[in-house]
Amino acid sequence: MAQCVQSVQELIPDSFVPCVAALCSEEAERLTRLNHLSFAELLKPFSRLTSEVHMRDPNNQLHIIKNLKIAVSNIITQPPQPGAIRKLLNDVVSGSQPAEGLVANVITAGDYDLNISDRSVKASVPWYSNWKDMLMELQESSLYTATTPWFESYRETFLQSMPASDHEFLNHYLACMLVASSSEAEPVEQFSKLSQEQHQIQHNSDYSYPKWFIPNTLKYYVLLHDVSSGDEQRAESIYEEMKQKYGTQGCYLLKINSRTSNRASDEQIPDPWSQYLQKNSIQNQESYEDGPGTITSNKNSDNNLLSLDGLDNEVKDGLPNNFRAHPLQLDSSSDPSNSIDGPDHVKSTSLLHETKKANTGIIHGACLTLTDHDRIRQFIQEFTFRGLLPHIEKTIRQLNDQLISRKGLSRSLFSATKKWFSGSKVPEKGINELKNTSGLLYPPEAPELQIRKMADLCFLVQHYDLAYSCYHTAKKDFLNDQAMLYAAGALEMAAVSAFLHPGAPRPYPAHYMDTAIQTYRDICKNMVLAERCVLLSAEILKSQSKYSEAAALLIRLTSENTWKGMDSDLRSALLLEQAAHCFINMKSPMVRKYAFHMILAGHRFSKAGQKKHALRCYCQAMQVYKGKGWSLAEDHINFTIGRQSYTLRQLDNAVSAFRHILINESKQSAAQQGSFLREYLYVYKNVSQLSPDGPLPQLPLPYINSSATRVFFGHDRRPADGEKQAATHISLDQEYDYESSQQWRELEEQVVALVNKGVIPSNFHPTQYCLNSYSDNSRFPLAVVEEPITVEMAFRNPLKVPLLLTDLSLLWKFQPKDFSGKNNEVKELVISKPEMIGAEVISEFLINSEESKVARLKLFPHHIGELHILGVVYNLGTIQGSTTIDGIGALPGCHAGNHCLSMTVRGRQDLEIQGPRLNNTKEEKTSIKYGPDRRLDPIITEEMPLLEVFFIHFPTGLLCGEIRKAYVEFVNVSKCPLTGLKVVSKRPEFFTFGGNTAVLTPLSPSASENCSAYKTVVTDSTSVCAALTSSASSVDFGIGTGSQPEVIPVPLPDTVLLPGASVQLPMWLRGPDEEGVHEINFLFYYESVKRQPKIRHRILRHTAVVCTSRSLNVRATACRSNSLEDEEGRGGNMLVFVDVENVNTSEAGVKEFHIVQVSSSSKHWKLQKSVNLSENKDAKLASREKGKFCFKAVRCKEKEAATQSSEKYTFADIIFGNEQIISSASPCADFFYRSLSFELKKPPAQPSVQTEKQSVEDAVRLIQKCSEVDLNIVVLWKAYVVEDSKQLILEGQHHVILRAIGKEAFSYPQKQEPPEMELLKFFRPENTTVSSRPSVEQLSNLIKASLHYPESFNHPFHQKSLCLVPVTLLLSNCSKADVDVIVDLRHKTTSPEALEIHGSFTWLGQTQYKLQLKSEEIHTLQLKACFVHTGVYNLGTPRVFAKLSDQDTVFETSQQNSMPALIIINNV
């Protein structure tokens, strides 16, 4: 139980005190009334004796009585009505509330505080799952300061208001004070009248109440004298007369009212009465007919609460209530105010009743001085010493004598004869029924009752030892007689006496109490007495630290069906609360049991109409249940707290309690959640009506995931319009992808660097149109005036009922500013002015049960300045009559704007986004700090141009290498001109706007007929197989030296696009060489003509998705031609072999490919003619066919090469049709240059090796140069496609870049073979320097050797046996350096196999020649071969060694001829 102010050793003696009646004359009552007090009330503060009292027990032993208190009360002849007692107890409990913010009423246990008294809803004590530590700390803590004053007031009032009963005498009157005034005409006569009246009340059978202890009651005569107005001499003389008549022991002169009441304000006299009069007593129920003391309700009481409960019926209709049968339903029928029977008092003028003064303005005892206080105190002492105690002592002796005389008889004989001879005692029921009734009723003079009387008297004067033995004796007699009510009473008091005995020779017999309680409850059906037993026994057990037994005892008396009626609820509530306190005061506190019983107590308080106490109990229990995951329990508690707070008009508390139910992940059913939500909305509505102009409240639903908020700056993308397709740009529908955002960033950096002469400015930040949780939000984003800002919020509905948000819009504040720096004044903050910022409103936004849904809201800034988006504002409501909405269409008849709304409240939710955690400095790493997130605080800047790009006839599918012509339209939709338009892409080889030459040459007529993308010229058929040459500079096509091929300026006319203007430009596309799906990113960059301080440029993105399918594979090789002479008779011819294979799978519907032209492009070489073996001129390739072409390539003329700049390329076209495609014009040359620059960007393939000398590297470089060519082949083709029974002609081109002689080159990228795995080496290799050596292939190309001889030679062997044939050996130096050459004519081997191969012939003359060839020199050697037989011989036996003149022999190697030189020798 909770801590009490009194110990149990003080409580019980104070609860059972000698009772004294007071009977006053009207005049005497008038004198006390001057102090606003009745006579009994006047004595109350002084009723406890200040000193010890002595008396003698029957054995003549001296017995000391400490702290004796007497109870004086006016005689009331009607027993109190149960209804009045109920009302009184109810008022006492409701009037005693915990003081607000009492810090003392807290159980402190280490870190935990269990707030026992604070009744506010904010039970925010942190109660962690750490039960064990918590309990240990509770156990060790000595600060059990929890008190429950309402329970103590209840207990005190309950014990005081117990009606006197016949089976016990503790509250029967022992004496009666007869009070008259000295100012009366005949005071002594008045005393006689009062004495007769008392006698009549006690002995007349008309009066069954009040009860008197013994027939000869002590009468004590008191003469009241008013000092301020009465005659003191007369009073003294009357007192003398009284002493003569009643004896000095039996009367007293009490002088009061030493000052007049109008002097009351002069000095401040203490008021000891107020504390007693605050506590109601049972006689208070009647108000006075005279005087200002009429009863009004106590200011602290719950009368305001009761009047509030009058609202119950309206509340029930108003609260959308699904809880009619809820156990916590507070119905008006159980309201205490309705079921209290008014007490029916006798309105007798002689009986003036006490009353409680609650009018705080009244001063009690206004006419009394401190001397008067002492006189009253002295009077009580005199009365007790001289009157009451001698009377009690005498009575005990008399009763004891009777008892002893009775004990002299044989006990058994006595009990046997008693049944026959005591005729005065009549059993009410038959003997066989006695056991299950309360048993016999004894007449007042029955001997058993005399023992009980003696026991009670001893108990009242604290003689507990004697009292116990008497009770024990009486108990046996009563049990023998089956008088169960009497027996229970004796058991009860015997147990209390045993406990209170100071020596405590025997332990407290708790089983006596248990038997008594059971008897009262089950047999006698007297719950009031049972309750008294429980209250006393629980206090005793508690004092012995037997909290578990005390709790069990308290709980036993609280079952709902034990008692019917409302008083049972109040009792049960108080007892359950005390049981809860027992659990928490145990050695190892049971915190959960405490919480559970507090809930039960709160429930019963609620049924008893004690709303404040109910609320307090639930709040205290909530401290334990909170945050444990017991969500259903939490919901129940919160719901009840909300309901009770609402009834008590604590609306804020009600709102926060209902809010808790909604925001935690609820496990309730949909119907229950709907009910909670409606209740919440209803309460909220009431709160908001109290302060309609106040700030908007924060709403708990729906959840907003603030970090998922995305902000988009700009207009929505236009949909595709027929063949027109708008640039994809960026939108909220696109998912964030880190890789692609990095690619866009790199593209933007490239173009910005180019614009700023190769350097990225230090203040450059990539443009961000869409801000989300992945973007860099540390800076204030920039928005442009008159361009919308879209905020996307992620809502989630945690409930199983749909939520309907109406009139949803953004909440913002705006600060107009001028960023141009002219005037720096800051204008005032603007909130919600539509002329500054326009806001979009969504009229209805439905979120189904447990659905996540995004809402997009726009703002339209009309002024420059700083904007702060604070949150959203909306009406929250639900849909009437729809518990579940699974999908679309589950709401019949509820169209947009047609939702049947039940109730809505207007509120807001703030968007608060936590920035990223900082992790740079040491301080940031060791502490938890977060950076800013400014995505909701854009700066509105001045107008900027706005570009829109449309693609017309843009293909989605292409063949690899296919060329297609499309158009791009650029539109300036703003009010500012734009300039500096550029496009940047990682795949510049995919598209071109045409070079500078594109506009100059008009298209040929046939090209326009066929809608060809190429520029063509009709040729005559005579010039077949010869090459047509032209030249072009790469600078014309934007591929100059040092330029970035990815950044392409868009050729706008006049380089400016005016507001509202649009330009269409042609754009050629070429399908990438790899098949598959390609995403190609274009970034358009543009600037304003007028420089802006905040935004320098703007960008527009477009991602094109193109699917390519296979077409042709082209591979080419170049090899040296053996013939040395060209037109000028100089060396330097090559043969170029081109293989073309049709690898198209016929999915694309391609019938066949025609190779229409092969062109070359190079700075040094050109194709001269086609060396076609077959006469078939038409080059068609059906599916899976392969074609082989051979071309002769020659060097460009020296003078041509000299006049041309280093960037001039020579184009040569070999045509297989009747139309020449001009390969040096757009778009053929564009794509050629793009692919070339793409190739050149690749890193060189040869490995870098450490070398000893720089000169060695130079030599190697020279040797390598010999085998290098830079010849580029362009194969142009047409494909015939049948689509929808129409024939289309597609055209395209493939490029092959030849780098070296003899090395095969491909038009399509080769798959890299993964390198083979090597074993790990665990030692460091020796650092050997490997000198770089050119490969055998490269060295073999240093010198070109060819033999000139007759193919057949006739010789008459019969005339001359030796045949001599002259042979010329031509040596040509292919390099730019001097070369030493050694020619060795000796046969390598003399084995028979070798002889067979070479035939047996011999070179005549010198066998070895040493020569030096200058740069690109041609040298001839005249040799002679000697044959002895006819036959076919291979002359290719000379071995040629070559080395650079200024180098060692390391590079020496044999020059092998490419093909055998065969000669036929004939005999003639």
* Phi and psi torsions of 566, nearest 5°: -75, -30
pLDDT band at 1106 (very low <50, low <70, confident <90, very high): very high
Is the separation of the CB atoms in 872 and 911 below 8 Å?
Answer: yes
- State how far the Cα of 74 lies from the Cα of 38, in Å rounded to an integer: 9
Question: What is the rounded average pLDDT for all residues in the chain?
Answer: 78
State the Cα–Cα distance between residues 966 and 949, nearest whole angstrom: 13
- Token pair belonging to 181: 């005034």
- According to the model, what pLDDT value does residue 936 have? 92
Tokens of 208: 């069954």
Asked if pLDDT for residue 576 goes beyond 90, the answer is yes
Residue 830's pLDDT band, with cuts at 50, 70 and 90, is low
Distance CA 767, CA 1094 (A): 12
Nearest to 596 by CA among 555, 536, 656: 555
Q: Cα separation of 949 and 724, whole Å?
A: 10
User: Residue 1107: CB partners within 8 Å, gap ≥ 6?
Assistant: 956, 957, 958, 1076, 1077, 1078
Q: Which residue has the higher pLDDT, 281 or 1285?
A: 1285
Q: What is the 3-state secondary structure (H, E, C) of 570-588?
A: HHHHHHHHHHHHHHHHCCC
Nearest-Å Rg of the Cα atoms of the chain is 59
pLDDT digits (tens, 9 = 90+) for 938-951: 999 999 999 999 99
Answer whether 884's CB lies under 8 Å from 671's CB: no
Q: What is the pLDDT of residue 1452?
A: 55
Whether 884 has a pLDDT exceeding 70, the answer reads: no
Q: State yes or no: pLDDT of 1439 exceeds 70.
A: yes
Residue 700's pLDDT is what? 86
| DSSP notation for 394-454 | HHHHHHHHHHHHHHTS-HHHHHHHHHHH-TT---SS-GGGGGGS------TT-HHHHHHHH
Mean pLDDT to the nearest integer, 856-862 = 93
Alpha helices in 1273-1408 (DSSP H): 1336-1340, 1392-1398
Q: How confident is the model at residue 1299 (pLDDT cuts 50, 70, 90)?
A: confident
Confidence (pLDDT) at 1327? 54
Rounded mean pLDDT, 922-936: 89
Considering only residues 239 and 314, tell me which one the structure prediction assigns the higher pLDDT.
239
pLDDT of 935 above 60: yes
Q: If DSSP states are collapsed to H, E and C, what string results for 958-1017?
A: EECCEEEEEEEEEEECCCCCEEEEEEECCCHHHEECCCCCCCCCCCCHHHHHCCCCCCEE
Q: What pLDDT score does 1456 carry?
A: 52
Say if residue 1329's pLDDT is above 60: no
Roughly how many angstroms between the first and final C-alpha of the chain, as a whole number? 146
Contact status, residue 215 vs residue 258, Cβ threshold 8 Å: no
The side-by-side arrangement of strands in the sheet containing 1418-1427 is 1343-1348, 1363-1373, 1418-1427, 1401-1404
Band (1167; pLDDT cuts 50, 70, 90):
confident
CB distance 666 to 658 below 8 Å? no
- The 3-class SS string of 1406-1438 reads CCEEEEEECCCCEEEEEEEEEECCCEEEECCCC
Give the list of residues 6+ apart from residue 459 with CB closer than 8 angstroms, or none. 16, 170, 467, 493, 496, 497
Which of 746, 784, 792 is closest to 935 using CA atoms?
Answer: 792
Predicted local confidence at residue 1459, as pLDDT: 59
Which of the four pLDDT bands, split at 50, 70 and 90, describes residue 873? very high
- Of 1017 and 632, the one with more pLDDT: 632
Cβ distance 331 to 312 under 8 Å?
A: yes
Range 716-734 average pLDDT: 81
Least confident of 121-130, 848-857, 1014-1023: 121-130
d(CA 1159, CA 529): 122
Q: Is the pLDDT confidence value at 458 over 70?
A: yes
Who's near 194: CB < 8 A, 6+ residues apart? 23, 24, 25, 178, 179, 180
- Amino acid in position 570: L
For residue 511, give every residue at least 6 positions away whose Cβ sits within 8 Å of its Cβ, in sequence order, or none. none
Reduce the DSSP state of residue 1369 to 3 states and report it: strand
Query: Dmax over Cα atoms in the chain, in whole Å?
Result: 205
pLDDT given at position 1243: 52
Q: What is the structure's pLDDT at 305?
A: 34
CA distance 748 to 985: 10
Nearest-angstrom CA–CA distance, 162 and 334: 24
Distance CA 190, CA 1417 (A): 168
Count of residues making up the chain: 1468
State the pTM of this model: 0.69
Instruction: Kindly state the tokens that stand for 918.
Output: 């900082």
Strands 1097-1109 and 957-959: parallel
Contact 1033, 1208 (CB under 8 A): yes
Question: Cα(505)–Cα(1259) distance, rounded to whole angstroms?
Answer: 126
CA distance 633 to 619: 13
Query: For residue 1185, what pLDDT band results from cuts at 50, 70 and 90?
Result: confident
Pairing of strands 710-713, 1268-1283: unpaired
Task: Determine phi and psi for 530, rounding to 5 degrees.
Answer: -60, -40
